Amino acid sequence: FKCVLDSIINLSEYYGSIGRGAGQKAEVTTRIYSKTREYLLDFFNIKDKERYTVIYVSNATDGINTLARVLIKDKNDVVISTRMEHHSNDLPWRRQCKVDYIEVDERGRLKINELEEKLIKYKGRVKYVTVTGASNVTGYINDIHKIAQIVHKYKAKIIVDGAQLVPHKKICMYKKDSLENIDFLVFSGHKIYAPFGSGAIIGLREDFNNNLPDTKGGGTVEYVIDNNQLWLNTPEKNEAGTPNLFGAVAIMEAMKEIEKIGFERIEKNEKELLQYLINGLKELNRVKLYADNDCIEDRLGILVFTIDGMKYYEVGEKLSEIKAIGVRQGGFCSHPYTRRVLGIPNNQLQEYINKNGIPGLVRVSLGIYNSKKEANIFLETVELLCRRYAR
């Protein structure tokens, strides 16, 4: 966003290190940094600001790794995740504890009924359920409040990977019915057009205060003596080192711009373009679409496809080479899910990899700036690939 860049340039005129000294610039920027936290709590409808906190991290991956290291105390603790997850909401938990997974159906949607079955099965051992708010592969939006109700019924807490969801749909973390509240939300700044190396965790203050910080050092302690230390309370306790002021401000300014544009407008544009692209690709015989393309109410502006006679990486390269069209091709850092979307049975996976390499698709991801004119250029170029390059 231009407004994000402008705010960073203006801020650089009076930058001072956060919480370090009593200089005028340091005092001003420390107040601004604190203001960004307040804005995020309001943005996600957090009414009880004493209960929740905002911790800045480098990105969503860093945030989920932080949660895994801080929240999990025992290797025997159980975290329930899903087979829809990005690697960033899977691998950090595997390292810390026992992870069990909710499966997806043949269309790639979560089998939500499995969640309660697993919570019953583990008889209170499940501490956290961590789930993506929306898939980065298929764009399916998960009903995080329905999931939260089930999770809280069994005295566990819910963590939402919001990297894919936050830029596209308004998230209300705090509801009147406390069973629907979201305990932890993680997202990245660059996904909301604020590419300055920042992300955030919005989560329960008590859980951070009751656990040791995962990274220790400057800014995390009240004082240190020869053989002990007194930790500050969160969020300072969990933000070791010099904070990324520019990243935090960039996130706030980007969110202000998104609110000005309006989520209804964003969703309407994305849904119309998604339907238009689906209709256009369905007319091309060599194109195969994946996931549910007949019922798209629970999908963001994401679609995945292949072209018969071309490798997925060839499609991505040619789209870029011919018309400078940017798509993602491959397993999207979500290999278990991509394999399921492709319909490759687990017992045939190694044979498939030996023959074809890592399973992959081509992904179109719609942003707020995309237009019907660009959609037409894309469809015309895909048609050209089908005619000229597909073998």
How confident is the prediction along the chain (391 residues), in pLDDT tens digits per residue?
A: 999 999 999 999 988 888 777 788 888 999 999 999 999 999 999 999 999 999 999 999 999 999 999 999 999 999 999 999 999 999 999 999 999 999 999 999 999 999 999 999 999 999 999 999 999 999 999 999 999 999 999 999 999 999 999 999 999 999 877 899 999 999 999 999 999 999 999 999 999 999 999 999 999 999 999 999 999 999 999 999 999 999 999 999 999 999 999 999 999 999 999 999 999 999 999 999 999 999 999 999 999 999 999 999 999 999 999 999 999 999 999 999 999 999 999 999 999 999 999 999 999 999 999 999 999 999 999 999 999 988 7
DSSP string of 226-277? TTEEEEPPTTGGG--SS--HHHHHHHHHHHHHHHHH-HHHHHHHHHHHHHHH
Using alpha carbons, select from 173, 168, 240 the residue that is nearest to residue 203.
173
d(CA 29, CA 196): 17
CA dist 368 and 27 (Å) reads 36
HSE at residue 298, side-chain half, CA atoms within 13 A, is: 15
The residue type found at 280 is G
pLDDT of residue 106: 96
Answer yes or no: are the C-beta atoms of 246 and 196 closer than 8 Å. yes
pLDDT of residue 17: 85
Instruction: For CA atoms 216, 217, 220, 223, give the dihedral sign.
Output: positive
pLDDT of residue 372: 97
Residues 131, 156 contacting (CB under 8 angstroms): no
Strands (E), the chain: 52-57, 78-82, 98-102, 126-132, 157-161, 184-188, 199-204, 221-225, 228-231, 287-289, 302-307, 328-330, 361-365
As a dihedral over the C-alpha atoms of residue 264, residue 268, residue 274, residue 275, rounded to 10 degrees, the angle is 140
**Closest by Cα among 279, 368, 363 to 319:** 363
The Cα 125–Cα 76 span in angstroms is 8
pTM of the shown model = 0.96
Question: Phi and psi dihedrals of 117, rounded to 5?
Answer: -60, -40
Of the CA atoms within 13 Å of residue 225, those in its CB half-sphere come to 3
Compute the distance between CA of residue 283 and CA of residue 296 in angstroms, rounded to an integer.
Answer: 18
Give the pair of three-digit tokens for residue 23. Answer: 């200089």
Q: What is the DSSP letter of 171?
A: -
> What integer pLDDT is reported at residue 92 of this predicted model?
98
Starting from the edge strand earliest in sequence, which strands make up the sheet with 52-57, in order? 52-57, 199-204, 184-188, 157-161, 126-132, 78-82, 98-102
Give, in order, the Cα–Cα distances in Å from 185 to each of 54, 73, 202, 226, 276. 10, 20, 5, 37, 32
d(CA 53, CA 386): 51
